[in-house]
Amino acid sequence: MPAETVYLDADPARMAQVFGNLLTNASKYTQRGGRIELEAARVGDTAVIRVRDNGIGIPPHQVEAIFEMFSQLDQSLERTRGGLGIGLTLARRLVLLHGGTISVMSDGESAGTTFEVRLPVLATDEVPLPPRIETRSYDGTAPAPRRILVVDDNRDAATTLALLLSLEGHDTTVAYDGLEARDKARAWRPDVMILDLGLPGINGYDVCRAVRQDPAGADVLMVALTGWGQDTDQQRSAEAGFDVHLVKPVEHEHLRDILLAGTAGRDRPGPG
C-alpha cells in the first residue's frame, strides 16, 4: 500500500465489487500453491491498483476480448468450472463510471496475468465529497429506462447482468428458474425479459409462450440470451415468440443497441 493516504471520489461498495471480481478471477485461474498480489500506488494524480497472479495466463488472441460479456478462457485452459464470464465486464463498467481505466497484461499461456486499474485521486487537502445525487434524462443516445426481468439459473450471472443494466437507469429484477420467471412476469409486468433457454422447472421457450399467451405480454421485448446457437435453436426461439436470439458471448454494447432500437409485439423478426 502507498505510504501516504490517498483519497478517491468513489463508491466503496462498487470498488469492492471491482476488486472482488478481479481477485476472484485471479484465484480461479491460479493453481493451488500459486501467488496472487494486490498492490496500490499513487502516480501523480492517479491511483494505480494492480492485481497480479502467476496463474495460467491469457493466450495472446484472447487478451483483447477478455472484457467482453460472457467471455471465458478456452475450456482446455480452465482449471475450474463455473466461471461467469461477466465479472470483468462489470468491473470495466464500474471503473469507467468512476472516470478511470482498466487494462490487462499477460505474456501468454502459463505466464500469469496482471490487471491494472487507474483512478483519479483527490488532492490530499480536499475534503472528501459527499455522495452526488444524479438526475437522469433521456436524450436518445442511451436506452430509455425499462422494467427488465433477467432470468438465468446461474444466480451470480443473473444478478450481475441485472446490476449492469441498473447502472444504466433500468429498473431490474431477477428470476432463477422457469416457473419463477413465468410468475414474476405476470405479477411484475416487465417491458423486457432477457432469459436463458435451459432453465429448471420449465425451459425458456415455454416461459416465452406463457408470456405471449397473456394479453399483457404481447408487447414485452423477449430476448433469448443463451449458449444454444444452432439454427434449430434459433428457429425454435422465433416460433416460441422471442424477438431476439443472442448467443453467448455477447458484447454489452450490442445488448444496449437492442434495448435502444427493439420494439416487441409488431413485425417480429425471424431468428437472428
User: What is the domain-level CATH number for residue 206?
Assistant: 3.40.50.2300
Question: Alpha-carbon distance 70 to 240, whole Å?
Answer: 24
Residue at grid coordinates 496475468: 113
Distance from chain centroid for Cα 113: 21
One domain for residues 182 and 246? yes
Residue 125's pLDDT is 59
The confidence score (pLDDT) of residue 182 equals 96
Does residue 128 form part of some domain? no
CA distance 2 to 9: 17
* Inter-CA distances, 256 with 22, 65, 98, 150, Å: 24, 18, 20, 14
CA angle 210, 213, 219 (to 5 degrees): 100
- Of 44-58, 136-150, 152-166, give the lowest mean pLDDT range: 136-150
- Percent of the chain past pLDDT 70, that is, above it, reads 82
pLDDT of 136 reads 45
Query: How many distinct structural domains can be found in the chain?
Result: 2
Residues 158, 232 share a domain: yes
* Helix intervals (H) in 40-141: 87-97
User: Reduced to 3 states, what is the DSSP secondary structure of residue 241?
Assistant: coil
271 domain-assigned: no
Q: Per the domain annotation, does 142 fall within a domain?
A: no
Same domain, 113 and 39: yes
- CATH of residue 79's domain is 3.30.565.10
Q: Kindly report, residue by residue over 82-131, the tens digit of the pLDDT.
A: 444 577 888 888 999 999 999 999 988 888 999 999 999 987 655 555 55
Task: Give dist(CA 50, CA 40) in Å, integer.
Answer: 6
- Whether 96 and 166 share a structural domain: no
Task: Indicate the pLDDT class of residue 143, thresholds 50, 70 and 90.
Answer: low
Residue ending a domain, choose from 62, 88, 122: 122
Of 75, 106, 122, the last residue of a domain is 122
Same domain, 100 and 180: no
158 and 245 share one domain: yes
Of the spans 143-147, 162-166, 170-174, 249-253, which averages the highest pLDDT? 170-174
Q: Is residue 132 part of a domain?
A: no
On whether both 151 and 253 belong to a single domain, the answer is: yes
Peptide bond into 249 cis (omega under 30): yes
Cα 21 to Cα 126: distance, rounded to the nearest angstrom: 30
Looking at residue 142, what is its pLDDT? 59
Residue 74 pLDDT more than 80? no
Residue 95's pLDDT is 93
Q: Residue 23: which domain range?
A: 7-122
Is 129 part of any domain? Answer: no
* Residue 92 to residue 87: CA distance in whole angstroms: 9
Residue 140 lies in a domain: no
Q: Distance between CA atoms of 63 and 192, rounded to whole angstroms?
A: 32
Mean pLDDT over each residue of the chain, to the nearest integer: 83
Answer yes or no: do 208 and 161 share one domain. Answer: yes
Domain match, 165 and 111 both: no
Average pLDDT rounded to a whole number, residues 127-142: 50
Residue 186 has pLDDT above 60, yes or no: yes
Same domain, yes or no: 177 and 82: no
Q: What is the pLDDT of residues 209-230, one digit of tens each?
A: 999 999 989 999 999 999 888 8
Regarding predicted confidence, which is higher, 161 or 241?
241
**Per 3-state DSSP, what percentage of the chain is helix, strand, and coil (rounded to 5)?**
35, 20, 45
268 inside domain: no
Are 20 and 99 contained in the same domain?
A: yes
Query: Is 229 within the bounds of a domain?
Result: yes
Residue 157 and residue 97 share a domain:
no
